[in-house]
């Protein structure tokens, strides 16, 4: 719920001031979860680079609004709107990606699926979520096995070029697809042998109870989101691009 509310606010409040506040909330959540600042450099290096690229693209090529500076006389003015849009889009990307990574790094997929099923989600859909998440490492291991086997046969998968892309697809993705379908067929037979779907409800070996901390976090997320949306409605200058580099009260 907190991730959903933050994503809603990120796309609803375009003002870079609010985007910066939401980004710092994401950093605070990561620090509270025990995820240090190094994870931005290790896990999200591409996102940081892409965010910087988006910011520079808006800064250099968005030439609407009053000019703040001119890099090349008469050609590349840096405008206030370009600066604001660049900051807003870069911070939006970092907030969404960072919050999603914090969520996946601190939440066990099995616990998430079991909690949703115990809260009322049909266990067929919950089992689909758990199965999809469990197949990811299996497919990764299968891909490594296929890659090593093809290299042992003398197929140059370690030297990809545009000319041998069809060969890479043939010798890598085709065996991987066949192996994945075999695993799915084996799983389907096993589920049928255990009478999966016979009963409307199922039992759980591990319980994921709904605690007061969950209720408090959900309530704070909803109240905070509703308050900020109401504030943006009452004071449109806080969220409009027309405010440029400062808030308008």
Whole-structure pTM value: 0.66
Average pLDDT over residues 28-38: 78
Q: Would you state the pLDDT for residue 216? A: 92
Categorize the per-residue pLDDT at 60 as very low, low, confident or very high, splitting at 50, 70 and 90: confident
Average pLDDT over residues 25-46: 76
- Structure tokens, 166: 């069809």
Residue 32 pLDDT more than 50? Answer: yes
When comparing pLDDT for 100 and 245, which is higher? Answer: 100
Tallying the residues shown for the chain, one arrives at 249
What are the distances in angstroms from CA 99 to CA 69, 74, 102, 107, 142?
A: 34, 41, 5, 12, 30
When comparing pLDDT for 41 and 132, which is higher? Answer: 132
Percent of the chain past pLDDT 90, that is, above it, reads 4
Q: Enumerate the H helices of 73-206 as residue ranges.
A: 80-106, 109-118, 123-152, 165-168, 174-193
Angle between helices 45-61 and 80-106 (to 10 degrees): 170
Question: How many angstroms separate the CA atoms of 55 and 23, rounded?
Answer: 15
Neighbours of 98 (CB within 10 A): 25
- Structure tokens, 84: 């604001």
Q: Would you state the pLDDT for residue 74? A: 60
Residue 245 pLDDT more than 50? Answer: no
Average pLDDT over residues 223-228: 89
Mean pLDDT of the chain: 79
Categorize the per-residue pLDDT at 242 as very low, low, confident or very high, splitting at 50, 70 and 90: very low
As a three-state string, the secondary structure of 178-212 is: HHHHHHHHHHHHHHHHCCCCCCCCCCCCCCCCCCH
Q: Would you state the pLDDT for residue 120? A: 82
Residue 109 pLDDT more than 70? Answer: yes
The answer to whether residues 95 and 24 touch, using CB atoms and an 8 Å cutoff, is no
Question: How many angstroms separate the CA atoms of 113 and 208, rounded?
Answer: 10
Q: How far is CA 241 from the centre of its chain?
A: 26
Angle at 151 between CA 150 and CA 154, to 5 degrees: 95
Q: Would you state the pLDDT for residue 39? A: 64
The answer to whether residues 100 and 73 touch, using CB atoms and an 8 Å cutoff, is no
């Amino acid at each position: 719920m907190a991730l959903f509310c933050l994503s809603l606010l990120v796309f609803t409040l375009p003002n870079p001031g609010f985007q910066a506040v939401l980004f710092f909330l994401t950093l605070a959540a990561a620090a509270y979860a025990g995820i240090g600042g190094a994870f931005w450099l290790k896990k999200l290096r591409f996102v940081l680079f892409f965010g910087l690229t988006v910011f520079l693209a808006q800064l250099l090529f968005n030439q609407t609004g009053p000019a703040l500076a001119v890099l090349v006389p008469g050609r590349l003015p840096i405008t206030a709107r370009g600066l604001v849009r660049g900051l807003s889009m870069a911070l939006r990307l970092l907030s969404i990606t960072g919050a999603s990574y914090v969520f996946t790094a601190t939440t066990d997929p099995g616990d998430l699926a079991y909690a949703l099923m115990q809260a009322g989600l049909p266990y067929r859909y919950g089992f689909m979520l758990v199965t999809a998440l469990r197949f990811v490492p299996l497919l990764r291991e299968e891909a490594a096995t296929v890659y090593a086997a093809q290299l042992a046969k003398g197929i140059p998968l370690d030297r990809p070029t545009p000319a041998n892309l069809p060969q890479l697809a043939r010798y890598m993705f085709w065996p991987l697809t066949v192996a994945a379908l075999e695993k799915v067929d084996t799983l389907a037979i096993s589920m049928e042998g255990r009478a999966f779907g016979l009963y409307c409800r199922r039992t759980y070996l591990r319980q994921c109870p709904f605690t007061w901390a969950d209720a408090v976090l959900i309530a704070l997320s909803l109240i905070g989101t509703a308050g900020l949306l109401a504030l943006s409605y009452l004071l449109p200058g806080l969220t409009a691009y027309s405010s440029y580099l400062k808030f308008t009260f």
